[in-house]
Structure 1
Amino acid sequence: MSALSKAKGFKQSKSGTYLSMATTALGAIGVAKQIKKARAESDTLRLIDAVVTAAGVVTGLAILYRELKRLGDDDVLLG
């Protein structure tokens, strides 16, 4: 098995999904800082950008959570 196919398999595993969720959640820290800065400077355009980015982070986490549940369901069926 090549390293590339192992990496693709990891991405679709439970641990890979948890890692993706963690990195996505870390992105939320950057968004929070962006919102705080935009509010301090009363910059409406940056605030809108931060809110749209936050919506993307939330959506990404929801998709990863759904994938994690799907992986969990598969594990129960196999065991």
Structure 2
Amino acid sequence: MSKLEKAKNFRKSKAGTYLSIGTTVFGTLGVVKQFRTARGEGDTLRVVDAVVRAAVIVTGVAVLLRELRDLSGDDVLAG
């Protein structure tokens, strides 16, 4: 198995998904900093940009959590 194939398999693993969630959540620190700075300066456009970026992060984490749920096979609705 080549290194590229191993990397692709890791990305689809539980550990890879947890790592993706962690790095995505870590990105919120920059968004929070941008939001506070923009609000302090009264820059409405940057505040809106920070809010949109926060929405992207929330959506990304939701998608990753769904992927993690699918990997675990514990789907209650599959019934």
Give the TM-score normalised by structure 2: 0.91
RMSD: 0.9
- Residue number in structure 2 paired with 1:77: none
> 1:8-30, CA deviations, whole angstroms, 9 ceiling, x for partnerless residues?
00000000000000000000111
* 1:16-75 Cα distance to aligned partner (Å, 9 max, x none): 00000000000011100010001000000000000000000000000000000000107x
Structure 1 runs of 4+ with >4 Å offset? none
**5+ unaligned residues in a row in structure 1: which ranges?**
75-79
**Alignment correspondent of 1:72:** 72
Structure 2, unmatched stretches of 5+, are: 75-79
**Other-structure match for 2:25:** 25
Q: Which residue of 1 aligns with 2:38?
A: 38
Identity over aligned residues, as a percent? Answer: 59
Distance in 1 between the 2:3 and 2:60 partners? 26
TM-score normalised by L of structure 1:
0.91
Counting matched residue pairs gives 74
